[in-house]
Amino acid sequence: MKIKFPENFLWGAATSGPQSEGSKDKPHLNVMDKWFQLHPEDFHNQVGPEITCNSYEKYPEDIELMQRINLNSFRTSIQWSRLIDDLETGTVNQKALKYYRDYFSRLKKANIKLMVNLYHFDMPWELQEVGGFANKHVVDLFALYAKRCFESFGDLVDMWSTMNEPIVPVEAQYLYKWWYPYISDYKLAAQVGYNTILAHAKAVKEFKILFANDSKKEITVVLNLTPSYSKDDKPENIKAAKLSDEFFNKSMLEAAVNGRFNQEFIDVLKADNVLPEFNKSELDIIANNRIDFLAVNYYQPRRIQGREKPYSGENMPDKHFENFDWAEKRINPHRGWEIHPETIYNIAMDIKNNYNNIKWFISENGMGVEGEEKFKNQDGVIQDDYRIDFIKEHLYWLHKAIQEGSNCFGYQMWTFIDCWSWANSFKNRYGFVSLDLKTQARTIKKSGTWISNCIINNEFEIEENLVNKN
Nearest approach in angstroms of CB 362 to ligand FCB is: 12
CB of 222 to ligand FCB, least distance (A): 7
* Options 12, 16, 22, 175; binder of ligand FCB; rule CB under 6 A: 16
Angstrom distance (rounded) from CA 204 to CA 134: 19
332 touches ligand FCB by CB under 6 A = no
Annotated active-site residue in 21, 165, 246, 282 = 165
- 430 three-class SS: coil
Q: How many CB atoms neighbour CB 245 within 10 A?
A: 24
Is 43 an interacting residue with respect to ligand FCB (CB under 6 A)? Answer: no
Tell me the C-alpha distance between 15 and 31, whole Å: 18
> Which lies closer to ligand FCB via its Cβ, residue 165 or residue 282?
165
Measured CA to CA, the distance from residue 127 to residue 143 in angstroms comes to 14
Give CA–CA dist 414/430, Å, rounded: 6
Hey, is 259 helix, strand or coil?
coil
Identity of the residue, 415 or 452, whose beta carbon is nearer to ligand FCB in the bound complex? 415
Q: Are 8 and 465 in contact (CB under 8 A)?
A: no
Site string for ligand FCB, 426-455 (x = CB under 6 A): ----x-------------------------
Residues contacting ligand FCB: total by CB under 6 A: 10
303: left (phi over 0), alpha (psi -120 to 50) or beta: beta
State the Cα–Cα distance between residues 433 and 63, nearest whole angstrom.
12
Annotate 75-119 with DSSP letters as a single string: EEE--HHHHBSSTTTTPBPHHHHHHHHHHHHHHHHTT-EEEEES-
Residue 93 or 164 having the CB closest to ligand FCB: 164
Q: Are 219 and 162 in contact (CB under 8 A)?
A: yes
Are 253 and 291 within 8 A, CB to CB? no
Q: Does 412 bind ligand FCB (CB under 6 A)?
A: no
Judged by CB, which is closer to ligand FCB: 224, or 244?
Answer: 224
Minimum Å gap between C-beta 415 and ligand FCB is 7
CA 167 – CA 192 distance, rounded (Å): 9
Burial of 459 from C-beta contacts in 10 A (0-12 / 13-18 / 19+): middle
Of the candidate residues 52, 79, 117, 164, the single one contacting ligand FCB (CB under 6 A): 164
Q: Can residue 364 be called a binding residue for ligand FCB (CB under 6 A)?
A: yes
Residue with nearest beta carbon to ligand FCB: 421
Told to judge if 364 belongs to the known catalytic residues of this protein, a careful annotator would answer yes
Taking alpha carbons only, the member of 183, 180, 184, 170 closest to residue 41 is 180
Where does 177-330 have alpha helices with state H?
Answer: 186-210, 235-245, 251-253, 263-271, 280-288
Q: Could you tell me if 154 and 108 are in contact, meaning their C-beta atoms sit under 8 angstroms apart?
A: no
Nearer to ligand FCB, 123 or 238 (CB): 123
Residues between 282 and 301 with contacts to ligand FCB, criterion CB under 6 A: 297
Distance between CA atoms of residues 468 and 421, nearest Å: 31
Supply the minimum distance, in Å, between the C-beta of residue 266 and ligand FCB: 27
224 binds ligand FCB (CB under 6 A): yes
**Catalytic-labelled residue, pool 171, 206, 282, 364:** 364
Site string for ligand FCB, 245-284 (x = CB under 6 A): ----------------------------------------
Q: Applying CB under 6 A, which of residues 33, 158, 165, 393 lies at the interface with ligand FCB?
A: 165
Q: Which is nearer to ligand FCB, 165 or 206 (CB)?
A: 165
Measured from the CB of residue 23, what is the shortest distance to ligand FCB in angstroms?
16
Q: How far is the CB of 375 from ligand FCB (least distance, A)?
A: 19
Are 268 and 246 in contact by the 8 Å Cβ rule? The answer is yes
Min dist CB 13 to ligand FCB, Å, is: 12
Of 128, 421, 443, 452, the one binding ligand FCB (CB under 6 A) is 421
Residue 236 annotated as catalytic: no
Distance (Å, rounded) from C-alpha 203 to C-alpha 144? 8
Shortest distance, CB of residue 331 to ligand FCB, whole angstroms? 16
> Is beta strand 219-224 parallel, antiparallel or unpaired with respect to 159-164?
parallel
Closest C-alpha among 439, 464, 434, 468 to residue 449 = 434
Of 175 and 402, nearer to ligand FCB (C-beta) is 175
Question: Toward ligand FCB, which CB reaches closer, 93 or 421?
Answer: 421
At its nearest, how many Å lie between ligand FCB and the CB of residue 364?
Answer: 6
Closer to ligand FCB at the Cβ: 19 or 443? 19
User: Which sequence positions are flagged as catalytic?
Assistant: 165, 364
Which residues contact ligand FCB by CB under 6 A?
Answer: 16, 19, 164-165, 224, 297, 364, 414, 421, 430
